[in-house]
Amino acid sequence: MKIPVLYIVIPCYNEEEALPITAARMAELLDEMTRKGLIDEKSRVTLVDDGSRDRTWEVICALNAKDKRFEGVKLAHNAGHMNALWAGMRMVCDSCDALVTIDADLQDDVNAIYGFLEKYREGCDVVYGVRNDRSSDTAFKRSTAQGFYKLMKKLGVEMVYNAADYRLLSRRAVEALLSFGEVNMFLRGMVPLLGFKTAEVYYERGERVAGESKYPLKKMVAFAVEGITSFSNKPIRLVTLLGFVCALLGAAMAVYVIVSLVAGHSVAGWASTIMSIWLLGGLQLIALGMIGEYVGKIYMETKRRPKFILEEYRK
């Protein structure tokens, strides 16, 4: 097998503090892997600046000027983590044999890439990095993340438990992934849909090297909603089920009302009337909200907007 040209794609959003450390580690890794004959000399690290507001792009340009193995892709605005990854993959797809995506904060152990490459040599097209320990995350992040994986499984979405966006994809896997036309992207759910021969490599997840998490609670919730509604129509079925239950309750109510009427104490129905108004009103609102979620998705898909807008690609 030919020595692969490996591209490491790193999305960066306001990562000026972490980048110098990450870049130094990546340069070391490339040196070592090239020396060991594991990757081709043409291998690169592609840093995708996701519309940062700090000096991230300047840092990337400086790295690129100093060492040609660092490439920079600048997105014109903050397109979000998934879109930044997508942009990076799109830009490097034609130059690489395989690519690894990894966060800019070195929370994921870069040594796992050796494992990824080994699996790649064994013929795997998709290799997931799976964290075998989450002790470095806060208890809150850990429990919400675990709850999310469980919920997704219940909803019938195939996902690799505890695998984040740290993975290796062969060129043909990337090409397949890039052929997905959807605008609402949830890569963790999309990659398992690819098929191909896959493997998992376990690693320990550490702390962020510098800077703060770019995923505040608001973004985490948006991410989870995105994942659920992009992949599952079970919530909408739940609404239908709820509708049936309500209809049944309503029928029972009707019987009760008629019986009360015949018995001659119909005025006494005030409490039950008010209760059903509230109950039904609430349920209808929930149902509308859920339907709205999907209609919103259809709206976004029909627009066929580009996933990212490229400002610059420094090779």
Q: Which is nearer to ligand UDP, 50 or 97 (CB)?
A: 50
Does 174 interact with ligand UDP (rule: CB under 6 A)?
no
Judged by CB under 6 A, the chain residues 5 through 44 that form the site for ligand UDP are 11-13, 15
> Closest Cα to residue 2, out of 32, 46, 41, 45?
41
Does 86 interact with ligand UDP (rule: CB under 6 A)?
no
Fill in the DSSP letter of residue 135: T
Among 43, 46, 101, 107, binds ligand UDP (CB under 6 A): 107
Token pair listed for 244: 């049936």
Among 105, 109, 125, 226, binds ligand UDP (CB under 6 A): 105
Does 80 interact with ligand UDP (rule: CB under 6 A)?
yes
Token pair listed for 199: 């493997």
Query: Cα angle vertex 258, ends 254, 259, to 5°?
Result: 115
What is 90-112 written as a DSSP string? Answer: HHHTTT-SEEEE--TT--B-TTH
Judged by CB under 6 A, the chain residues 180 through 219 that form the site for ligand UDP are 213-215
Does 144 interact with ligand UDP (rule: CB under 6 A)?
no
What is 36-88 written as a DSSP string? Answer: TTSS-TT-EEEEEE-S-SSSHHHHHHHHHHH-TTEEEEEESS---HHHHHHHH
192's CB contacts (< 8 A; 6+ apart) are: 158, 159, 160, 198
Does 104 interact with ligand UDP (rule: CB under 6 A)?
yes
Site mask for Mg ion (CB under 5 A), range 95-124, x = bound: --------x-x-x-----------------
Contact region for ligand UDP (CB under 6 A) — 99-107, 239-247, 262-270, 272-280? 99-107
Judged by the rule CB under 6 A, the positions of this chain that interact with ligand UDP are 11-13, 15, 50, 78, 80-81, 84, 103-105, 107, 213-215
